[in-house]
Amino acid sequence: MVKSNITLGTTTRAGDGCDCGRSAVADPVLDAREIPPTIRHGAIFGSLDSIAPGYGVVVVAPHDPVPLIAQVAERYDGAFSVEYLERGPEAWRVRFGRTA
């Protein structure tokens, strides 16, 4: 069994049920170190697909994600900004912000 560490910061409303995609307080954090390498980029692309313009996601990677950043630039045609928040040696934290 694979354990996934996804942290979401959201504001909930009493009686409103699921708050998915609404009122995000903080960028969700996707710890890709916990995802098997064979499906890692697919899982990251799935989370990027769900990000609306003006929002972002922080990906925690086990290495410098230069190949992932190149794939995101090609796949999304510049729709994401990239900001390194931490540069190893144990983990790399990169914020992908949706611009379009």
CA distance 93 to 98: 16
Which uninterrupted H or E stretch holds 73? helix 66-76
Confidence of residue 23 (pLDDT cuts 50, 70, 90): low
Q: Which of 17-21, 40-44, 59-63, 64-68 has the lowest mean pLDDT?
A: 17-21
- Residue range 12-40: mean pLDDT, rounded: 74
Q: Which of 7-11, 36-40, 81-85 has the lowest mean pLDDT?
A: 7-11
Q: What is the pTM of this model?
A: 0.76
- Of 66, 64, 28, nearest in space to 46 by CA: 28
Structural domains of the chain ordered from first start: 25-98 (3.30.110)
Strand partners, 87: 92
